[in-house]
Amino acid sequence: MPAFDIEAHRGGRALFPENTLVSFAGALSMGVNTLELDIGVTRDGAIVVSHERGLNPDLALSPDGKYVTAPGTPLVQLSLAEVKQYDIGQIRPGSIYAAQFPDQRAAPGTKMPTLKELIDLVRRSGDEKVRLNIETKIDPNHPDESLPPDRFVAVLLDLLRVEKFESRVMVQSFDWRTLQLVQKLAPEIPTVYLTVQGGRDPTVFSDKASEWTAGFNPAEHGKSIPRTIKAAGGVIWSPYLRDLTPEAVTECHTLGLKVVVWTANQPADIARLIDMGVDGIISDRPDLLRQTAAEKGIALPAAHPVTP
């Protein structure tokens, strides 16, 4: 892991269609330390890059020119050939998502990539240092929408080993069962413990275990999330930016944990987090993250121009 980790969230979705070869090529061409992405597994065992566990109604345009209806078919119920029929290169007009990222450059005709295709793109770029931060999209409350954790992890590790790429990845998840399996089966791969503590859908609580935490209970570790992650064997904590305090950063560093925050897009937030001492930031705006990091005297990763 670099001294400071500049991560392009879903490839930089404020700039290009998320989790596509277009966005990842944009991030590589700009220069980032890490490509952050999400994966699912199709019915026929292909690993595809998708934030949603199913086809996203705000992104997936069917061959008949219509966006899919909510909630969208789970990827695990579709073959790779079926997934590849959908265009995910332009946000549904008038959606909340479209309003959130009005400057995203559409790329009509873009298909959902496989993880293998992304690894091939990285190799074509010539960037020998960039890493992948791979999130397993598993929800313990919706077990029917993905492979079970053991099969999911097995499929991922098999591909990474075939591609000889396991030394250039991290695996992250809100579902800590995934991370426990990676630690057991591939201890050389760093695990990143994702958390959100507030809002409508928290995954961790200071006073109890949750269905997300693989049996680990912060109440047994002084109500400390960092100490709980340390006990679970993690090496990186990745909290939502509004959940982080300077005291928590200090605690992590005392424990030997790195802190990589999601998702900071505003220069003021990015600067505040850098001043707080975080070890990396995941951003939808890697361009602004690079700019603010440079202003703080942080060395920037080299650009590796490549076309998707």
DSSP string, 241-301: GGG--HHHHHHHHHHT-EEEEB---SHHHHHHHHHHT-SEEEES-HHHHHHHHHHTTPPPP
Total domain count, the chain: 1
Q: Is residue 245 part of a domain?
A: yes
| 92 in any annotated domain | no
Residue 123 CA to residue 175 CA, distance in Å, equals: 30
* Pairing status of strand 258-261 against strand 280-283: parallel
Which residues lie across from 195 on neighbouring strands? 239
- Provide the pLDDT for residue 1: 80
- Sequence-distant (6+) residues with CB within 8 A of 199 are 240
CA–CA separation, 27 and 57 (whole Å) = 25
In this prediction, what percent of the chain has a pLDDT beyond 70?
A: 100
- Structural element, H or E, at residue 77: none
CATH number of the domain bearing residue 197? 3.20.20.190
Mean of pLDDT values over 122-139: 98
Instruction: Tell me if 116 is assigned to some domain.
Output: yes
pLDDT reported for residue 198: 84
d(CA 266, CA 272): 10
Q: Is residue 254 a contact partner of residue 276, using CB atoms and an 8 Å limit?
A: no
Q: Could you tell me the CA-to-CA distances from 259 to 39, 45, 76, 157, 285 in Å, in that order?
A: 22, 33, 32, 24, 19
Identify whether 133 is part of a domain: yes
Q: 88 lies in a domain? A: no
Alpha carbons 291 and 296: distance in angstroms, whole number: 9
One-letter amino acid at 295 equals E
Domain range for 250 is: 5-56+112-295
Tens of pLDDT, residue by residue over 196-253, are 998 889 999 999 999 999 999 999 999 999 999 999 999 999 999 999 999 999 999 9
Per-residue pLDDT tens for 90-121? 999 999 999 999 999 999 999 999 999 999 99
The answer to whether residue 306 is domain-embedded is no
Q: Which helix (H) or strand (E) holds 85?
A: none
What backbone torsions phi and psi does residue 236 show, to the nearest 5 degrees? -135, 135
In a domain, 100, yes or no: no
Note whether residue 80 is domain-resident: no
Q: What is the mean pLDDT of the chain?
A: 97
> Is the peptide bond between 74 and the residue preceding it cis, with omega within 30 degrees of 0?
no
